[in-house]
Each structure stands twice: as structure tokens, then as C-alpha cells.
Structure 1
Amino acid sequence: MSSPITEGRRFRAYTTRHLDELLERAGLSGEQRLRARAVATVLPFRTNAYVVDELIDWSAAPDDPMYRLVFPQEDMLPAEDVTALAALLDTDPRGPRLKAAAAAVRRRLNPHPAGQLELNRPTVGDSRLQGIQHKYRETVLFFPQQGQTCHAYCTYCFRWAQFVGDADLKMASNDIDELVRYLGEHPEVTSVLITGGDPMIMGEPVLRRYLTPLLELEQIESIRLGTKALGYWPQRFVTDPDADATLRLFEEVVAAGKNLAVMAHFTHPRELESELVADAVRRIRDTGAIIRTQAPLIRSINDRPELWSGMWRTQHRMGMVPYYMFVERDTGPQDYFAVPLARAFDIFREAYSQVSGLCRTVRGPSMSADPGKVCVDGVAEIGGERVFVLHMIQARDPELVGTPFFAEYDPHAVWLHDLKPAFADRFPFQ
């Protein structure tokens, strides 16, 4: 799929400055382009030449799933909001009224679900630590300042608020010493997840600055890097100027006795087709790192079981470990992308039934909700009542991990807060 020219060229980003031209390439009319650009005043837009030239089937746009994965759609927001924003964008594109209107829409979109801005941030004395989250006992998340962007933004991203230029909505830190001090005070933490944004947007010298101090901590057993780079810019591990140096850094992490896990996001099978991806996967695995794969279930992009079973088989064949199918989170354009929980389970079950046991390392469909990761195990009839069967994969309260519970069956429910407890007055985590 990729050519030598593609493999060797340098990274080129496309932002809102290029959006109208790209939307025209998709065959949109002037009014349609204006309304899509209005959505991009609220939700962030960024893509790159590899995604545009290698992954999107422009003959099928705007219905192509890879196009929908990265380009704004006018029905991602309420029609009245899009109309108001489009009018302002058309008459005063740089005015304060447009900025204020876009900010007001963002606030209604639940920019930080599951309390990720406040509830999960640890404190030292009376101060909340910046760029650190500690939701589960054994795991701390760290958001490096220089990793607060991506090679391309997914339209469904639950961390979209990181990318809109609002300092009040951003989680980030450039103080690795503060993280090390916090870990020293919390010996129960054995795993650090470096996320963002995308930490693989950072060059090797910056990435090294964040990783090296963690290698001195005996308590840390694993380091995870959450990244979409394998799908959106596999050159990062193959032909980028510091690709080799980055892989040597991975080898050093493994040699220090740490489990290094690249948490790779693959949302659609097309992201796995390039020879560049196969090369990148081989090079990463040769360092001793493990690649675990995960993605949300997204309506109109990957809501068919054969897509998931195909992805899992391909990932397994390439030496990656299928890890999670997530439910689209309650933020941003959730109404546009969400799949009802009942349908989500049917898709997962059918896909799961089509793969061998070696692919069944994957878990889901899982909701990363305020109390923890809630897995939908199925639909059952108990005592004449149809119910969802659920359990906690992870929990703020470790005692709840593995706890099964029941919710009244609702074919329209898309998130935990849509459910009502069955056979009890409340859920175990309430």
C-alpha cells in the first residue's frame, strides 16, 4: 500500500487552515464545508499526509470510515449550534463572539468524563498535582507536557479537550521529578501509563528524559505508552530521524527489567494494511516490548463484528496482543458515535466467537466510567426479568474488582448512567 516515497518523506500535518480544501476533495458543497468547519471550531482537527494519502479512500468520502475517523461531520453537534457557529464563522471568523460561542458548546459536551480533571488527580498537602492521575491503586497515569498532541486526532477522542487550546481543560506536566516523588510515597503503584495526547509525538531525547528516572524505581514493574502512532504515523518507528534511537531506548527499558507495553490504538482494519505498519511492529517487538491493542466501538466506523474479528486475527498474526474493546465515552459527540450497550455486546460476542482462543485475550465491551471499568458480560433472563450482566474489571475501590452485578435491560442505554440496578436498590459502587 505504501511507496518508497511515502516511507521516506517527512511528517506533514494538516490543520484547520487546510480543512476547507480537504473537505472540497471529499465532494462537499460550500454550505456543507462551512458547517463542517463550524464543528471544527468546537472539536479539534488535525491529520497528516500519511492518513490523507494512504488510509482514506477519497472515492468513498465522506462515507469512507477512515475519513469519518478524522474529519468533522456537521451532525456531530446539535443542528442549532452548528447553524449559529456557521453564521459567526461566515461573518466574523476571527471575532470574540465565535470563540465564546464555541467555548459554550464545549462546556456542554462534558469535556472531562469520569472526573478525569479533578477526581483522579492526586494531592500533596493542599495542592493538586498537575498532569498526574491516580484512579486505580496499582496504576498512575502521567501526561507529559510535550506529548499533548497527536499525529492525527480521532473524531471520537474522549480526550479531545486536551487539544482545543484551553489551559483550564488541559492535563499536563513537565516535572518528572514530581512524579518520581509521588511514586516514592506510594509503593503500591507498580505501573506507570504515559499518555496524552500521544507520547510518541515526542522526540527520543524528550521521551528519554521522562522514561529514564522510572528505571531507577524498583517498585515499577511496567511502563505503558498509549499511542496511535502505529495507525497514523508508523514512520515514527521506521524512517523518522530518531526511529532507531527510540527503539534503542525501548531496549534499555526492557534491559532494566521493566515490562514495556506499547498500548496501540487500531480503530479500523485498514490501519493494519500498510507494510510500514508491519515493519514498525517487527522493530518494536525486536526490542522486547509488547504491543497491546485497543479501540472503542464506534458507530459508522467499526460497528460490525467481522471488522473486529479481522483486526484481532491480524494483530495476533503480527505478534500483537488484543486487549480491549471500549464503549464510546460520555463526552464530545457521543450521540453521533455511541452504540447501544446491547448491540455492543452482540458485536463483541459475535466477533469473539470468530477467533481462536489465542485472540481471546481481548476484554469488552468495557465502559471506563467514574467508578471504574465496567464490562458488559451479556444479557440474561433471571426470575422472569431481562437484565444486563456486568462486572468490574477495574475499580476505584479494589474490593469491587471482579464483582458481578445486574442492571435492568434497556435496549437504548449507551452508558452506565443510563442503567438502573436490578434486584437491588443501588449498584455495588454507589
Structure 2
Amino acid sequence: MFTKSNIPELFKQYAPHLDPAPYLAAAHVFPMRVNNHVAESLVDWKNVPEDPMFQLAFPQPAMLHRPDLERMMHASRTGIPKAGLQQLAEEIRMEMNPHPANQKTENVPKLNGEELPGMQHKYRETVLFFPSEGQFCHAFCTYCFRWAQFTSVGSAQTFKSSNAGQLRNYIAKNRQVRDVLFTGGDPMVMPVRHLAGYLDPLIANDTEDLAHLDTIRIGSKSLAWWPYKYTTDGEAGDVLRLFERVVRSGRQLAFQAHFSHPRELEHPAAQEAIRQIRMTGAQVRGQAPLIRHVNDKPEVWRRMWDLQVKLGVVPYYMFVERDTGASHYWNVPLGRAHDIFNTAYSQLSGTARTVRGPSMSASPGKVGVVGVENIRGEDVFLLKFWQARDPSWIGRVFFAKYDPEATWLSDLVPAFGEKEFFFEPRYRELVKRTGEGSSGQLSD
């Protein structure tokens, strides 16, 4: 496992033409964790720094605004104490919207009047759970929208729970919940006994009060970053048998795999891991954000979706890079994102056209950019709710003025002279309910 302290030796061995100092400065602010599989099998060192896997795994100097990069490099050169370096890094982080979409304030559910830490309930049918033992990853993606919890900022940035009973009781009491998503970090960094400790209470024989729970999802980058978890690691067999238990319980196990680039799928270890997981009866779905410097070309997405279908992975979502961290470095304007998606989509076979995008996971819900049109002489974005805080918004379309620089929902304004988008009054009401003691999530 490599961290920022290994940057000088790695660069000396693989990329002697690169000055490690600015990369070290970036790694003081952004989390860095790179394992041997990524460093030795996925990164094309002959093509750094442009190589997409290098961009994806190693914090880049341009992820910091120039004044902040210079401050960090100066602090590193002058040898200030470690505490001072950490304080400077935290000051920079706090200016980067570390918790987008108000995820720590608007989505936390309550049971018997008490908030449930480590859980989110934003959409009526779906509960998210953040297991304490899954608060890191096999390697860190540089674009990650949960980057803040991997830094040294402290407990204020973490969002986690180890209370499996609380999760079970909440789902039992809320019969509209049909889907629980284990996320993190990455749940698949956990030893299998911990993962089983969360899953088994949801699938046990005496779960009549959980009959409404149809699907258990696991969001993970492990198939790309550490596929050996399912093939040659000591617990690989136990992991696969746990997946089989979930499927035998009558529930669907959906493995939400994060594949950001075709190279991750092309590795034989990843392909074998996918085969092993599918043999348990689980379904594997592929999703990733559109990331500048990594996958911002239609051909990359076409190749990735075609290969996913060939391997039995269901193409699911192309996300828009969230407005957090180094979004200025990674994000792609919405108009270009729409063009990239449509160009790739038009070249797919029908079996790959299960994918949706580009999708913004914003505070009101998942908003898709489904068209760019000229209507009555005005260029507009055609937007659609694929998922929403208020279920009545799902499927609704609405229009925003076309802005070639816009990269997020908050950059957009309504088209045709409207003062606000149709959902905004109701959204304000839900946010107010949150402040008055409700989770802000509808239960009807």
C-alpha cells in the first residue's frame, strides 16, 4: 500500500521526469491511498502525468488552486511542524464544500425521535447505511465526493454506524423502504465477519417484519481497485458464500460496481471477480461519474459500456461530478456532458442502453440532463427527475436556460422567464421540516 510518503520513491522508480514536490503538496490536502494492483497493473507509467489511471489515483497539483498550492509547497519546504501543516490543509479543505448536497443535515433519519448516525434516508424506498468498518477504500479515487472523510480533518467529517440492530429496526418500522444500500468508504474493505454482521440480521429466517425489503445493494470500487477480494484472498470463498446466502433469502443482491475507465475492466483479475460474483446469483451494475482528464471522451464510455455488457455487468449510471473538493479540475460542463453521453449511447447495442445520464445527485434528487433544445428562440436544457426527495417529482421534466459554463444544478436558472424551478417551494418546505425535527424525507 502506498501513501503520500511513498511519492518520492515511486516517482524515482517509475516517473523520474516528474517533480514530486507539487504532488506531495496536493497529497497533504487530498487523501491518497494506492495499492499495488493500481500502481503496478493499471497505471501506465510511460504516459504520466496524462495517464487516466495516474490521474485517477494520485492527487494532482492542479487539484489545488494556484495560491493554495504555493502555500502548501512553501510550508513543506520550510519544514513547519506537522500540526501546522495539517492545520493549513484543513483550512484549504473547508473551502471545498466537503459535504455536498447537504448530506449530513438533510438526510439523517430518526427513530423514536432520535437521529440515527451513519444512515441516510433521502428517497422514500431507499436507505443508505455507512458501516464503521468500511470507512476507507482499497485505493482512493482523486475525484471522490466523500473525500473529506478520508482526511485528517477528524470525527466531524466522518459519517458512520456500527449499529446493525438500529438499521434493522428502522427498516422494519418503515415499510415503504424496499432497498438498503451499504456504502462508505467501501463496505468491501471489511472482513467478511463484519459484513455478515450487518447482512445476516436482514436475511434471517425470522424476518417477517422485513418482508418489504426486496433488495440489498453494495456500492464498491473493489472490482476495479482490488478484484482479488473475490478470487485469491483468504476470505474470497467466505465472501461469495455470504452473497449466496443473501440471494437464497429471496432478496436481490445488487453489486453497484464503480468502473471509471475501460482499463479497470480489461484486467483478467477483474473479469474473473465479476464472473465469481455473478455465479452467486448477484447482479453487478456499473456506474461512474464523468471526469475530466480520465473519461471525458465518448469512445471511452462506449468501450466501457460495451465491455460491461460482454461481461454481464448492467450499465447503470453516468453521474455528473459533484460540486465538492477539486471539482474545478474534474468537472465537465453540462452541455458537453450531454454530448459525450449521447454520442456514446448512440453507438451502443440495445442491451447496453440500460444506462442513464448525465445525472446530478443534487439536494432535491437525481436530475438528468436529457436534452439541449431551442424552444421559441431560447436555448435550454431539458432536465428530468429520475429520483426525488418528493416522489411526486419523479419523471417530471423542466427547463433551464442553456449555459455553456454550467457544471451543476445550482449554476442553472429557469428558462422562459420563470422565477424559480417548479420544485423549489416544496423543497424549501422539506428543508424547514428538517430543521424542525423531521428527516425531511416523505413517508407517504
The answer to whether TM tops 0.5 is: yes
Counterpart CA distance in 1 for 2:413 and 2:38 is 41
Contact 2:15 2:45 in 1 (8 A): no
Query: Which of 418, 421, 429 is matched with 1:427 structurally?
Result: 421
Two-structure CA RMSD over aligned residues (Å):
1.2
Q: Report SS of the residue matched to 1:325.
A: strand
Counterpart CA distance in 2 for 1:267 and 1:275 is 17
**1:36 and 2:29 matched:** no
Deviation by residue 1:303-349 (Cα, 9 ceiling, x = unmatched): 01011011101000111100000000000000001000000000000
Counterpart CA distance in 2 for 1:15 and 1:131 is 27
Amino acid of the residue matched to residue 59 of structure 2?
P
Q: How does 1:233-272 map to 2 (within 5 A)?
A: 233-272=226-265
Amino acid of the residue matched to residue 178 of structure 1?
Q
Q: Report SS of the residue matched to 2:149.
A: helix
**1:210 and 2:198 matched:** yes
**1:49 and 2:36 matched:** yes
Q: How does 1:120-159 map to 2 (within 5 A)?
A: 120-124=107-111, 127-159=114-146
Counterpart CA distance in 1 for 2:103 and 2:8 is 33
Contact 2:230 2:237 in 1 (8 A): yes
Q: Report SS of the residue matched to 1:41.
A: helix
Once the two structures are TM-superposed, the CA of residue 38 in structure 1 deviates from its matched residue by: 1.2
The residue number in structure 1 matching 2:66 is 79
Query: Which of 111, 118, 122 is matched with 2:105 structurally?
Result: 118
Query: Which of 341, 359, 371 is matched with 1:378 structurally?
Result: 371
Counterpart CA distance in 2 for 1:24 and 1:407 is 49
What percent identity do the matched residue pairs reach? Answer: 50
Amino acid of the residue matched to residue 292 of structure 2?
R
TM (normalized to structure 2)? Answer: 0.92
Counterpart CA distance in 2 for 1:46 and 1:103 is 18
Deviation by residue 1:339-373 (Cα, 9 ceiling, x = unmatched): 00000000000000000111000000000001000
Contact 1:298 1:337 in 2 (8 A): yes
Contact 1:400 1:428 in 2 (8 A): no
Counterpart CA distance in 2 for 1:126 and 1:160 is 30
Q: How does 1:8-407 map to 2 (within 5 A)?
A: 13-27=1-15, 32-92=19-79, 94-124=81-111, 127-165=114-152, 166-215=154-203, 216=207, 217-407=210-400
Once the two structures are TM-superposed, the CA of residue 25 in structure 1 deviates from its matched residue by: 3.9
Q: Report SS of the residue matched to 2:28.
A: coil
Contact 2:401 2:413 in 1 (8 A): yes
Once the two structures are TM-superposed, the CA of residue 28 in structure 1 deviates from its matched residue by: 5.7
Gaps of 5+ in 2: 425-444
Counterpart CA distance in 2 for 1:178 and 1:90 is 48
Counterpart CA distance in 1 for 2:375 and 2:108 is 40
Q: Report SS of the residue matched to 1:19.
A: helix
Counterpart CA distance in 2 for 1:97 and 1:161 is 19
Q: Tell which deviates more after alignment, 125-134 or 313-322.
A: 125-134
The residue number in structure 1 matching 2:437 is none
Counterpart CA distance in 1 for 2:112 and 2:281 is 39
Contact 2:334 2:408 in 1 (8 A): yes
